[in-house]
Amino acid sequence: SEAWWSDDWSCFDYWRAPDWNRSFFDQFSDLIKSTPLLSLSVLHMENSEFNNCAGHLKNCYLCFDVDYLENCYYIGNSNHSTNCIDWELILESEYSYECFNCSESNSLFFCTDCSSSRDLLFCHGCTGCTNCLFCFNQYRKEYCINNIQYTSEEYAKKKNDIIMKQNYIEMRQYFN
């Protein structure tokens, strides 16, 4: 990027006179192949290599089409988030892993289409929820497993039992 934006080269160095005996598209193809192209579109990066179409990143890796991320890895189409891994379409979230289309949330794991939530595991379509496991299309619920409400003590015990008895693959299959 530094070489592209520098004054060390000029576009006029690659100018060619038209050849009226060749087709326009052949000449245009040759021109494109011989002209330097911008390799990355990045802006204000700090310790963030291997990202593209990105700006204002700090300690990020392999992120694409993102802005204002910190400590994020393998993220796409997202912004204003911190400490997230394997996300697509996130907005203003933190401490989450492998989620899709979630916003304004904290500590989501394997969730889709959730917003304004906290501490969700394998949930879909939850809004304003807290401490839920395997819940679908819930609104402002807490301490739920499979859309069934529990007390905080019952929830903690049942959640621990499920996590201890099932591995990730079994939980993922159940969620799907």
Q: How do residues 32-80 score in pLDDT, each as one tens digit?
A: 898 888 778 888 999 998 999 999 999 999 999 999 999 999 999 999 9
Please check whether residue 95 is in contact with residue 109, taking contact to mean a CB–CB distance below 8 angstroms: no
Please check whether residue 16 is in contact with residue 28, taking contact to mean a CB–CB distance below 8 angstroms: no
Cβ neighbours of residue 174 closer than 8 Å, sequence gap 6 or more = 122, 134, 166
Q: For residue range 89-143, what is the model confidence (pLDDT) as tens digits?
A: 999 999 999 999 999 999 999 999 999 999 999 999 999 999 999 999 999 999 9
Q: Model's pTM, two decimal places?
A: 0.79
Q: Is 131 exposed, middle or buried (0-12, 13-18, 19+ CB in 10 A)?
A: buried
